[in-house]
Amino acid sequence: MYNLELQNNLITTSVYGSAIALILIGLYAVLVKKNLIKIVIGLSIIDAGIHLLFVAIGYIKGFTAPIFSPGSENLANKMVDPVPQALVLTAIVIGFATTAVALSLVIRLYKHHNTARIDQIKSLKW
Amino acid sequence: MVISPVHYIAVPLLAAFLIPLLSKFIHKELARIVPGIVFLYSIFISITLMLQIGDKGIISEVIAGWQAPWGINLVFSPFSGFLASLMSIIGFLIWLYSYNFKKIDKEQSQKYHILQMMMVTGAIGIVLTGDIFNLFVFMEITAITAYSLTSFYRERDGAEAGFKYLLIGSFASVLILLAIMILYTQLGTLNMAEIAQKSHLIPTSLKTTIIVLFLVGFGIEAEMFPLNGWAPDAYSQSPGPIGAAFAGIVVKAGVYALVRVIFTLFDIHGAYDFLIYGGLITMIIAETSALAQTNLKRMLAYSSIGQMGFVLMAFGIGTHQAIVGALFLMFNHAIIKSLLFMSGSYLTYNSLTKQISALSGLGKKLPLVSILFGIGAFAIVGLPPFSGFWSKLYVLSAAADKNMLLLIMTILAVSIVEIIYYFRVVSTLYYGKQNPEIEIQKPSINAMVSMIALGITILVVGVYPDVITNLLENAATALTDKATYIQSVLTQNLPIN
Amino acid sequence: MRKVFVIILLILVGYFLTNTFSLITFGENRIGNTSEEKNVAAYYLNNTKEKTSVANVVTAIVVNYRGFDTLGEVTVLFLATTGLGSILFRRKEDEDQIERISKPSSSLVQTGSRILFPLIALLGIYVFIHGHLTPGGGFQGGAIIATGFLLMLISYKNFKAGHTMLIWVESLAGITFVTIGLWGLLTSGSFLENTLPGGELNNLISGGIIPIIYIAVGFKVAAELTGVLDILLNIKPKK
C-alpha cells in the first residue's frame, strides 16, 4: 500500500516536475543569456515544457491510447483524454512557426550589427 | 450560397493560398488586387449580416457540422459583428492606402499584401470565434503576421523591434496556453459559452490563477501597462499603414479578448477594478511618455497606448453607458488613429528625419494631408464637433453617474496633456519655418481617397453621432447579456454536472 | 545582481506552477463514464467510431471536430514561410550572389543520403496516408519528408528544392483544404462538414474527407518546412 502511494507520487513528481523544470530552464535562458540564438533556444524549451504539461494532463492511469485499432474497438471507456493531444499538435506547429520567424530575425540582426549578442544591439531601448 | 460568418475566414484563406499561383502564372498585379477584392467582400458580408441580425439577434454558426460544445462555432452578435465590420472597413482602407505605397518594394509587395490581409483576417477570427483555443490559434495568426510586418523595412531597426515584439508575444501565448490548459482540466470543454455557463464550478484558487493568466496574456496584446514595451518600437519601425493596422485592428482584437474573458467567461467584480486601475495607470504613464517624445510615430504610439488604457478603464466602470462609451472610443480610436498614422507617415516621409521638429512648415507644402492630420489631432483629444468629443462625453457622464470624481479629474488632466502634445505638432506644421530644400512627394490618389474617407467619417460622426450610437447600444447590450449568448450558442440541452 | 533577481523570479514561477499543478492530480480520470457524455472528451470517445469511422480519435478531433483549428494552424505555417521570405528578402539580382552555408560533404555522406532520401519520403507518405488509422498524420508525415529534404540540402551544396514546385504544392494543398471546406458549406450547410460516406472502421479508405484533408496537410507541411529550411540555409553572400 505504502509502496504504491510512493510510486504514484514519484510518477507525478517526475512528470510534472520535469515539465516545470523545462519551463524554468527555458525562462532562465531567455532572461540571462545574451546570445540571441540561445534566447530562441530558451523559447523553444519553454514551449516544450508547456507541451509536456499539456499532454500530461490528459493522461489517465492505466488507460490506453485513443485509437480503435483491431482488438481494442470496445475500449472507449478505457482510453486517455484525446483532446489535449490534439491541442498539443496545434501548439507544436505554432511554436515551430514562431521559432522560424525568430531565427530569421536573428539572422537579420546579425547581418545588420555583425553580432548576435543582445547587449551590443541597442539602437532601440530595451 | 447563403452568406454566413465563416466567409470572413474562408474567403481570405482561399485567396491567400491562391495569390502565389495567380501572381506567378497569370499576372503579377493580381497579388495586389486580390486582397482588395477580398476586403470588399468582407465589407459586403458585414453589411448583409448586420442587417440580418437586426431582427434575428445572434447568429451562431457551427463548423464541420458538430453542434456547439463538440465542435468549433462562430458567433456573430451585435458586439462581435460591430468589431468585425469595423476591422473589415479599416482593413480595406489600409489596403487602399498601401496599394502603391512607394516605400514598399515592388518585388516584395505580394508578401506585404498577403501578410496584411491575413493580419486582418486573424483579428476578425479572434472576435468571431466561440472557442477559446480557436481564439488562441487566430491570435497566433495575427501575431506571426505582426512580427513579420514590424520588421518589413530592411533599412530600419525593424528586426530589433520585431524580435522584441516576438519575445513578449511568445510570453503572452505561453500564458494563454497555460490558462487554457488549466481551464480544460477543470471543465472539460473549450467552448466559451459552456465555460461561461459552468465557470462557477471551478475552485476559487484555480479560477484566480486562470483569470490572472488570461488577463496578463491578453493584456500584452491590448497594450496594457506594464506589458506594452513592444508597442512603441513596433509602431515606429513598421511601415506607416501597418502602424494604422496595429492601432485600428490588432489592439482591438486584444481588447476584445480581454473583455470577453472578463465579461462573459468569468463574471467577477474584482476584474472590473483591475480594468479601472490597469487602464488608469496605463493612461497616465503612456500620455506622459507621449509628451516627452520627439519622434512623431513614437508619440502616436504612446498616445495609442494611452487611448487603450482609456478604453479599458471605461469597460471597467461597467455600466451600460460606460460600455457604450468604451465601444465608441474603440470605434473612434480605430478611425482616428488610422488617419493619424496614414497622414503622419506621409508627413515624416517628406521631412528629413522623423523628429517632430523636422515637420516644420509642411502645412503649406502638403495642405490636404496636414489638414487631415489636424482633423485627426483635434478629434482624438476630444474637441467638438469631431467624433472624439462624444465618446469622451459618454465615458465622463458614466463616471459621473457612479461618483468617480478622481477618475473624472484624471481623464480631464490627461486630456490636457494630450492637447499639449498634439497642438505642438499641429503648430509646428503650420507656424514652423519652412525648409526649402525638401522635395515634396505628393501622396497617390488612392492614399488620399482613403484618408479623406476617414476624415469625412470623423466629421459626420462628430456632427451626427446618432448614426453610430444605435449600433453601439446594441453591441453593449450583447456584450453584457451573458444569458442570451449562452442560450444562442448552446441550442441543445446539455447534461449538467 | 541580475542573476539573483532572475533566480528569485524562477523560484516564484516554479512555486506558482507546482502549487497550481498540485491541485490537478496526475493520472486522474476527469472524463468520467464516456457514455454519459459529460464533457467533450467523453463525447469524442463515445461517438467517433460510429459517426466518423475513424480509428484514431486524435485524428478525428484534429481534422474534423476541430478542423478549423487545423486550417488556422496550416495558415500559421504558410504565414511563417511568407514572413520569412519577407524578412530575409533579397532582390532578384542578388539572388545568384548567395550560396549555402555548408562544407562539401564526403561522397560517403552524399551516397548515403541519396539512398536514404526516397526511403524517408516513403515513410513520410506512409505516415500521413495512414493518419486516420495509426498514430501519425499530416503534420508528422510532412515533418518526416522535410527531414529528408534537409538531409539532401546539407549534403549537396547545389541541391535546389525547386521553388516553383514548392509554390505549386503549397498552394494546391491549401486550396484543396479550403475547397473541401467550402464544398461542405455548399452541400451540407456547414464549413468542413464531412460530406463523404464514412466507410468501414480501420480500412484505408474510411473516414470520408478526413484522410483527404490529412494528405493535403501532409503535402503542405512538407513543402512549407522545406521552404523554411531552404530560406534559412541560403544566407551566405558569395565573396
**Is residue B167 less than 8 Å (CB to CB) from chain A?**
yes
Q: Render pLDDT for B216-238 as a digit per residue (tens, 0 to 9).
A: 999 888 888 777 788 888 888 88
Nearest of C234, A99, A100, C88 to residue B152 by alpha carbon: C88
Q: Residues in chain A with pLDDT < 70?
A: 1-2, 122-126
Structure confidence by residue, pLDDT tens digits, A48-61: 999 999 999 989 88
How many other CB atoms are there within 10 angstroms of residue C214's CB atom? Answer: 29
pTM of the model: 0.94
Residue C88's closest CA among C238, C229, C239?
Answer: C229
Task: Give the span between the Cα atoms of C85 and C98, in whole angstroms.
Answer: 15
Chain C residue at shortest CA distance from A93:
C73
Q: Does A54 contact B181 at a Cβ distance shorter than 8 Å?
A: yes
User: What residues does each domain of chain B span?
Assistant: 269-482
Contacts of A8 in chain C (CB under 8 A): 27
Mean pLDDT throughout B432-447? 78
Whole-angstrom Cα distance, residue B428 to residue C110? 66
> Are the beta carbons of B181 and A83 separated by less than 8 Å?
no
Tens digit of pLDDT for each residue in B103-146?
777 778 888 999 999 999 999 999 999 999 999 999 999 999 99
Taking the C-alpha atoms of residue C200 and residue C54, their distance in angstroms, rounded to an integer, is: 9
Q: Whose grid coordinates read 539572422? A: A107
> Is C17's CB within 8 Å of A23's CB?
yes
Eight-state DSSP code of residue A125: -
Kindly state whether C238 is in contact with chain B, defined as any CB-CB distance less than 8 angstroms: no
Residues paired with residue B355 on neighbouring β-strands, in sequence order: B295
Facing B163 at nearest CB: one of A47, A57, A105: A105
Contact B311, B279 (CB under 8 A): yes
Grade residue C198 by pLDDT with cuts at 50, 70 and 90: confident
Residue among B13, B71, B141 minimizing CB distance to C65 = B71
In angstroms, how far is the first alpha carbon of chain C from the final one? Answer: 44
Question: Where does the pLDDT of residue B495 fall: very low under 50, low under 70, confident under 90, or very high at 90 and above?
Answer: very low
- Of the listed ranges A9-18, B358-367, C141-150, the least confidently predicted one is B358-367
For residue B247, give the DSSP letter. Answer: I
Residues of A in contact with C235 (CB under 8 A): 107, 111
More confident residue, B65 or B35: B35
Answer positive or negative: Cα dihedral of A63, A65, A66, A68: negative
What are B99's three cell numbers?
496599394
Q: Give the strand pairing for B73-76 and C236-237.
A: unpaired
Cα distances (angstroms) measured from residue B156 to each of A70, A123, B152, B354: 60, 10, 9, 12
Grade residue C101 by pLDDT with cuts at 50, 70 and 90.
low
Query: How far is the C-alpha of B100 from the C-alpha of B442, rounded, in Å?
Result: 13
Query: Among B172, B186, B107, which Cα is nearest to B142's?
Result: B172
Q: Which residue of B has its CA nearest to C186?
A: B1
* Prior bond of B239 cis (ω within 30°): no
Taking residues C61-85, what's their average pLDDT? 92
Compute how many other C-beta atoms are within 10 angstroms of the C-beta atom of residue B273: 11
d(CA C99, CA C234): 6
Residue of B nearest to C38 (CA): B495
Note whether B203 contacts C85, CB cutoff 8 Å: no
Contact (Cβ atoms closer than 8 angstroms) between residue C32 and residue C21: no
The chains found to touch C (3+ Cβ pairs under 8 angstroms) are A, B
Q: Which of B156, B160, B187, B189 to mutate to test the interface with A (most CBs of A within 10 A)?
A: B160
> Looking at the complex, does the CB of residue B168 fall below 8 Å from at least one CB of chain C?
no
CA distance C162 to chain A (A): 20
What is the arithmetic mean of pLDDT over B61-80? 88
Out of C17, C41, C49, closest to residue A82 by CB: C41
Average pLDDT over residues C74-86: 92
- Kindly list the residues from chain C whose CB atom is less than 8 angstroms away from the CB atom of residue B185: 24, 30
**What's the mean per-residue pLDDT of chain C?**
87
Query: Could you give all domains of chain A from N- to C-terminal order, each with its CATH number?
Result: 2-120 (1.10.287.3510)
CA C18 to chain centre: 31
Chains touching chain B through at least 3 C-beta pairs below 8 angstroms are: A, C
The verdict on a CB contact (< 8 Å) between B141 and C76 is yes
Q: Which residues of A touch C41 (CB under 8 A)?
A: 58, 81-83
- How far are the Cα atoms of B1, B15, B65, B66, C193 from residue C187, in angstroms, in the given order? 10, 21, 12, 15, 9
Q: For B291-329, how does the pLDDT look when each residue is reduced to its tens digit (9 = 90+)?
A: 888 888 899 999 999 999 999 999 998 889 999 999 999
Query: Cβ separation of A105 and B151 shorter than 8 Å?
Result: yes
pLDDT digits (tens, 9 = 90+) for B368-379: 889 999 999 999
CB-CB contact of C79 with B112 (8 Å): no
- Which residues contact residue B427 at a Cβ distance below 8 angstroms, ignoring those fewer than 6 apart? none
Give the separation between CA B181 and CA B341, rounded to whole angstroms.
38
Q: Is A97 in contact with C76 (Cβ distance < 8 A)? A: yes
Whether C21 and A28 lie within 8 Å, measured CB to CB: no
Q: Is B129 helix (H, G, I), strand (E, B) or coil?
A: strand
Contacts of B160 in chain A (CB under 8 A): 109, 121, 123-124
**Euclidean distance between the first and the last CA atom of chain B, given in angstroms as a whole number:** 39
Do B166 and A101 count as a contact with CB atoms less than 8 A apart?
yes
Mean pLDDT on B250-262: 91
CA-CA distance, B84 to B76, in Å (whole number)? 9
Cβ neighbours of residue B452 under 8 Å, at least 6 residues apart? Answer: B368, B372
Residue closest to A85 by CA, chosen among A67, A99, A72: A67
